[in-house]
Structure 1
Amino acid sequence: MYTNILVPVSFEADRNAQGAMEIAKALRAEGGKITCLHVMESLPKYATEYLPPDHLDRAKADILETLASLVAHVPNAETMVVSGHSARTILEFAGQESNDLIIIASHQPGMQDYLLGSTAAKVVRHAKCAVHVLR
């Protein structure tokens, strides 16, 4: 059983956040903590010029609301939204928080994933703790 579980959540259609939370609850030791994390990727400067000034604040508030519904009935669970590159930020967060398990949803790989590598693949390759990949 694990005492400090990280569940990175992506809101892409092929991700299974609820399934990842169920696995986290099943693998968590008594009194263990679950952190549900979303990483907001930075937008290019040329794109942000055309968005309303409060776009990022509204997006973050919407994401926090969605994450809160995921952990609403999960004891000792918290939500966080951070900015950065997805894989790198997940790995840095897991290291800083001393997570002992990362549960990450993956999608069926396409050609671009074989060339560049998906977020889940990068996390699996570089994590310093156990990683459970949910398909």
Structure 2
Amino acid sequence: MYKHVLVPVAFDEDHDPSEAIAAAGLLVSEGGRVTLLHVMAHVPSYVINYVPEGFQAEAQAAIIASLEAMGSELPHATGVVAEGTAGKTIVKWAGQEDVDCIVIASHRPGMQDIVLGSTAAQVVRHAACAVHVTR
């Protein structure tokens, strides 16, 4: 059992985090906590002038609310939003926040994943803690 379980959540059409969230509930120890993390890409500087003021903060608040709703059945679950590239940010966040298990959903790899590497593959290769992959 783990004290701090991290579940990265992507809001892509083909990703369903429900199995990863359920697995996190089984893997977290009594009194442990689960963090649902969404990584937002950086807004390029040439685009920032076209984004309405306050949009980023509103989007983050809405995402956190969605994450916390997803984790409402789990004990001590919280939602967090971080900025960066998905794989690197997940691994870095886990290292900084004393995560001892990452539960990440994966999909069947396509040609793009074979060439570039999927987020789950990056996390498995670089995380300093246990990683549980669901499909």
Whether TM exceeds 0.5 here: the answer is yes
Task: Give the partner amino acid of 2:86.
Answer: S
- Per the normalisation by structure 2, the TM-score is 0.92
1:72-83 paired onto structure 2 within 5 Å: 72-83=72-83
Q: Helix, strand or coil: the match of 2:74?
A: coil
The answer to whether structure 1 residue 96 and structure 2 residue 96 are counterparts is: yes
1:16-31 paired onto structure 2 within 5 Å: 16-31=16-31
User: CA contact under 8 A between 2:5 and 2:24: conserved in structure 1?
Assistant: yes
* More deviation, 47-56/95-104: 47-56
Instruction: State the partner residue of 1:105.
Output: 105
Instruction: State the partner residue of 1:131.
Output: 131
Percent identical residues? 48
List runs of 5+ in structure 1 lacking aligned partners: none
Distance 1:20 1:90 in 2: 15
Q: CA RMSD in A?
A: 1.3
Aligned length: 135
List runs of 5+ in structure 2 lacking aligned partners: none
- Per the normalisation by structure 1, the TM-score is 0.92
Cα distance per residue 1:67-117 (max 9 Å; x no partner): 121122322111111111211111111111221110011122221111111
Instruction: State the partner residue of 1:53.
Output: 53
